[in-house]
Structure 1
Amino acid sequence: MNLLQALFFPPEQPGGVSSMIPYLQERFRSSRWEMDLFWLPKRIRNKGHEEILFETFDWTPFAESPIVQKYIQTYRDYLWWTRLRVNKKYDLIHAHHPIAGLAMKKVFPDVPLIQTLHSSYERELILNGVIVENGLEHQFLVSLYREMEHVSERLMTVSLSFAEYLSPYIAEPSQIGVIPNGFDEKRFKPVSHDNSIPQLVTVTRLVPAKGIDTLIKACAELKKRGHEYVLHIIGDGPSRTDLESLAQSLGIYNETIFYGYTLHPEEFMPFFDIFVLPSRAEAFGSVFAEAALSCLALVGTNVGGIPEQIEDGVNGLLVNPDDEIALADALEKVIADPSYRYELSRSAWEKAKSLYSLTRVANELKKTYLQYHPGTKG
């Protein structure tokens, strides 16, 4: 079977999709399977001029929004690039972004399309203060879910929580498939180490939706309580300057290291002790699975797909978002008790190896693909 994995961002872009798809390609390399990757290069801007029509709604009432205009133009650009560069015949297309799926189905209407939705762009924009709930942009973006359902042979997502989130926006919620992201176990090598001062780490984009302001406030509370630690913040984004100022104003700048963007954090993640990310929304939270495979203790928030990975008190700790005291309490538990920290990290590692291995996810995807091309052997 000839497969095309249609991405939006290039494979080296940090995030859940890029953590999986390039490595998935290796698992499909055989005489029975052939897989290509396709994405829109960042340099492609304002090339497309095609008229855009959706089959399930009229987008023009939303056209006065610059954000909607930009989205439509990006869709035009993806269409232009697809028509220019994809000349091969594929048996199946698996898209990992709404724009990628819509463009592929328009260019190749007779090729079965599987569409996986990995995150909610509208929720992120709302939490980051870019758009308002129920405003023009919000209405436009949630309308796309019904369009995706209409044009896809199969609509899928990465967590039960996100499938539930999608339910009000589509016609047949019971038909949504759920396959979590998978991670190549060989990339994660837990390292036996003994840090005299506990090392906390987070890996994320620095935007309000990720709750790093709550983390910094919690760490200031830990310092007040007399705990020693180092907080490593790996990632970059528009909130970085504000977060650095917050750490300085709360007196923990010396305990906090801002790394900026790092391409392969999994290479040195095993040398830390505790992974913490107090997200305000998370469709799946791939970085938790990556931290678990690195054998770190996990501390996260009770939102989105995170509780599907973390069972509170068993393989990590969960707190409510925006609660810096509860977060400080959870961190205090794993900082003060190395044995408990080890138990949590070991349980997290075992669950991640079992449920989120790339081998398991690849097998699930093969079963799904074969439903649309039954002549191919697994």
Structure 2
Amino acid sequence: MKILQALFFPPEQPGGVSSMVPYIQERFNDMDVEMELFSLPKRIRNKGSEEITFHTFDHTPYIGNKLVDKYIQTYRDYLWWTKMRINKSYDIIHAHHPIAAMVMKRVFPNTKLILTLHSSYERELTLNKAIKVGSIEHQFLTKIYRELEATADRILTVSNAFKSYLAEYVEDVSRIKVIHNGFDEKRFRPIAHENEVTQLISVCRLVPAKGLDVLLKACARIKAKGHPFVLHLIGDGPIREDLEKMAQDLGLYDDIIFYGYMLHPEEFMPFFDVFVLPSRAEAFGSVFAEAALCQLALVGTNVGGIAEQIEHGVNGLLVPVEDDKALADALETVIIDPDYRYQLARTASDKAKRDYSLERVIAQLKKVYREEL
């Protein structure tokens, strides 16, 4: 069996699917399944020029919009790169991005195409205040889901919450199967340590959708109560300067460390105590499972895939979106009670090993691949 995993971002991209799929490839290759990876290099820009058409809607009324034009050009570039680089056939192509899926079906119309939808571009843009619901950009991006439904032979997604979100934009949501992301326990594992002051960590792109402004307000509340802590923020993004200024304004400058971009944060994540991320939306939230495998206590918002991973009070704490007081109360609970924190972390680790192991994903994918042959 020959399988192509078609990514958008290169495999060395940190976090999420781009960092997970190479480990899937490694496991399948060990089983004598020929699996290759393909992606669009960042340097490929404005190379493609082929005419783009969609089968389920007319995209021409959207032409002239900056975001739509960029999306179409990226489609052309991926198509150009695919035709130039791939000169062999496969039994199955598994795409992990809408553009990759549409291109692969166009180039290989007779090859079985499986698509995993990992996140929602339009929802991310909306939460980051880049577009508005109902705008030209939002209309175009949500129409892509119906196109994908007509294009792919099989559609997978990463959480029941995201499957429910997609129901508004596809004709038959029952076709979509949920396979949660899986993680290699060799990469994410606990390390015995003891911190005199509670160490909080958050790993994400610094964008409004991640709710880090809410986290800083919560930290200000905790500090006002006299609870010592250090918050480690790993990641970079367009609002970093705003967050740094906010930290100064809230008197948190000495309590927060901004690391910026880091290629392998999992290498020292196990040395912290609490993982916290008050996202405004998450299709799955892979970093929670990663932190759980490192045996950190989890604190997150009651949204999307986060709520599917955390059972409040059992393997972590959930708080409402945008509620800095509730977030501060949750963080205070795990800061002042190390035994409870440890209990949550152990339970979270056990669940992650059981539900999000890479072996489980391999078994589920193997079954899907065989069904499509």
Same fold by TM-score greater than 0.5: yes
The aligned counterpart of 2:142 is: 142
Alignment of 1:177-216 (within 5 A): 177-216=177-216
CA drift at 1:278: 0.2
The aligned counterpart of 2:43 is: 43
CA drift at 1:189: 2.3
In the alignment, the residues of structure 2 paired with residue 363 and residue 156 of structure 1 have an alpha-carbon distance, to the nearest angstrom, of 14
**TM-score, length basis structure 1:** 0.98
Alignment of 1:167-186 (within 5 A): 167-186=167-186
In the alignment, the residues of structure 1 paired with residue 63 and residue 302 of structure 2 have an alpha-carbon distance, to the nearest angstrom, of 36
Alignment of 1:219-298 (within 5 A): 219-298=219-298
**SS state at 2:254 partner:** helix
In the alignment, the residues of structure 1 paired with residue 302 and residue 338 of structure 2 have an alpha-carbon distance, to the nearest angstrom, of 23
Cα pair 1:297 1:342 within 8 Å, conserved:
yes
Cα pair 1:185 1:357 within 8 Å, conserved:
yes
Alignment of 1:1-378 (within 5 A): 1-30=1-30, 32-373=32-373
CA drift at 1:191: 0.9
**SS state at 2:130 partner:** coil
**SS state at 2:202 partner:** strand
In the alignment, the residues of structure 2 paired with residue 244 and residue 168 of structure 1 have an alpha-carbon distance, to the nearest angstrom, of 38
**SS state at 1:186 partner:** coil
**SS state at 1:371 partner:** helix
In the alignment, the residues of structure 1 paired with residue 162 and residue 184 of structure 2 have an alpha-carbon distance, to the nearest angstrom, of 23
In the alignment, the residues of structure 2 paired with residue 372 and residue 88 of structure 1 have an alpha-carbon distance, to the nearest angstrom, of 19
**SS state at 2:372 partner:** coil
In the alignment, the residues of structure 1 paired with residue 226 and residue 73 of structure 2 have an alpha-carbon distance, to the nearest angstrom, of 53
**SS state at 1:148 partner:** helix
The aligned counterpart of 1:376 is: none
Percent identical across equivalent pairs?
A: 66
**SS state at 1:233 partner:** strand
**SS state at 2:257 partner:** strand
Specify the code of the residue in structure 1 equivalent to 2:149.
E
In the alignment, the residues of structure 1 paired with residue 155 and residue 227 of structure 2 have an alpha-carbon distance, to the nearest angstrom, of 47
Unaligned 5+ residue runs, structure 2? none
In the alignment, the residues of structure 1 paired with residue 134 and residue 31 of structure 2 have an alpha-carbon distance, to the nearest angstrom, of 49
In the alignment, the residues of structure 2 paired with residue 365 and residue 320 of structure 1 have an alpha-carbon distance, to the nearest angstrom, of 34
**TM-score, length basis structure 2:** 0.99
CA drift at 1:37: 0.1
Specify the code of the residue in structure 2 equivalent to 1:28.
F
In the alignment, the residues of structure 1 paired with residue 197 and residue 93 of structure 2 have an alpha-carbon distance, to the nearest angstrom, of 49
**SS state at 2:3 partner:** strand
**SS state at 2:47 partner:** coil
Cα pair 1:146 1:171 within 8 Å, conserved:
yes
CA deviations on 1:118-163 (whole Å, 9 max, x unpaired) are 0000001011111111000000000000000101000110000000
Cα pair 1:19 1:183 within 8 Å, conserved:
no
**SS state at 1:300 partner:** strand
CA deviations on 1:62-86 (whole Å, 9 max, x unpaired) are 1121000000000000000000001
In the alignment, the residues of structure 1 paired with residue 82 and residue 335 of structure 2 have an alpha-carbon distance, to the nearest angstrom, of 51
Specify the code of the residue in structure 2 equivalent to 1:35.
M
Please, which moves more after superposition, 11-20 or 140-149? 11-20
**SS state at 2:276 partner:** strand
In the alignment, the residues of structure 2 paired with residue 15 and residue 105 of structure 1 have an alpha-carbon distance, to the nearest angstrom, of 26
In the alignment, the residues of structure 1 paired with residue 13 and residue 225 of structure 2 have an alpha-carbon distance, to the nearest angstrom, of 38
CA drift at 1:321: 1.1
**SS state at 1:28 partner:** helix
In the alignment, the residues of structure 2 paired with residue 12 and residue 290 of structure 1 have an alpha-carbon distance, to the nearest angstrom, of 17
In the alignment, the residues of structure 2 paired with residue 120 and residue 229 of structure 1 have an alpha-carbon distance, to the nearest angstrom, of 34
In the alignment, the residues of structure 2 paired with residue 308 and residue 18 of structure 1 have an alpha-carbon distance, to the nearest angstrom, of 22
CA deviations on 1:200-224 (whole Å, 9 max, x unpaired) are 0000000000000100110010000
In the alignment, the residues of structure 1 paired with residue 326 and residue 219 of structure 2 have an alpha-carbon distance, to the nearest angstrom, of 11
Cα pair 1:6 1:38 within 8 Å, conserved:
yes
Please, which moves more after superposition, 198-207 or 23-32? 23-32
In the alignment, the residues of structure 2 paired with residue 248 and residue 32 of structure 1 have an alpha-carbon distance, to the nearest angstrom, of 55
What is the count of residue pairs matched by the alignment? 373
In the alignment, the residues of structure 1 paired with residue 31 and residue 331 of structure 2 have an alpha-carbon distance, to the nearest angstrom, of 49
Specify the code of the residue in structure 2 equivalent to 1:94.
H
In the alignment, the residues of structure 2 paired with residue 175 and residue 112 of structure 1 have an alpha-carbon distance, to the nearest angstrom, of 15
Specify the code of the residue in structure 2 equivalent to 1:169.
Y
CA deviations on 1:257-286 (whole Å, 9 max, x unpaired) are 000000011110000000000000100000
**SS state at 2:258 partner:** strand
Specify the code of the residue in structure 2 equivalent to 1:295.
Q
Unaligned 5+ residue runs, structure 1? 374-378
CA drift at 1:31: 6.0
**SS state at 1:29 partner:** helix
CA drift at 1:56: 0.3
CA drift at 1:14: 2.0
In the alignment, the residues of structure 2 paired with residue 31 and residue 162 of structure 1 have an alpha-carbon distance, to the nearest angstrom, of 31
